């Protein structure tokens, strides 16, 4: 069974989602750690709202072999919506 399905069935996926969303209350998601309340609709220094829009994603092979593995470490780019 895939790891994400095990997390879902155990209830841990929901816990992890709730923990991730709680980081937006005093935002510390990006390296700027601006502390705005993105759950209340505030926009931080990164200009990202509560729900970021994924612009593109794909494998990333530009790191050391242990980090990249066989399929890449992955990269996600977000679109800033203003």
Q: What distance in Å separates the CA atoms of residue 73 and residue 67, rounded to the nearest whole number? A: 6
pLDDT of amino acid 82: 60
Orientation angle between helical segments 3-10 and 12-22, nearest 10 degrees: 90
pLDDT, average across residues 17-41: 91
The answer to whether residue 9 scores a pLDDT higher than 90 is: yes
Picking from 5, 6, 48, 3, the residue whose alpha carbon sits closest to that of residue 23 is: 48
Question: Could you tell me the pTM of the whole model?
Answer: 0.62
Higher pLDDT, 24 or 82: 24
């Amino acid at each position: 069974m895939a790891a994400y399905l095990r997390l879902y069935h155990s209830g841990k996926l929901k816990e992890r989602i709730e923990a991730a969303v709680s980081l937006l209350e005093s935002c510390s998601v990006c390296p700027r750690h601006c502390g705005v309340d993105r759950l209340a609709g505030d926009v931080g220094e990164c200009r990202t709202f509560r729900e970021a829009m994924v612009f593109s994603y794909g494998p990333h092979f530009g790191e050391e072999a242990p980090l990249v593995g066989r399929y890449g470490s992955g990269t996600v780019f977000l679109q800033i919506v203003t």
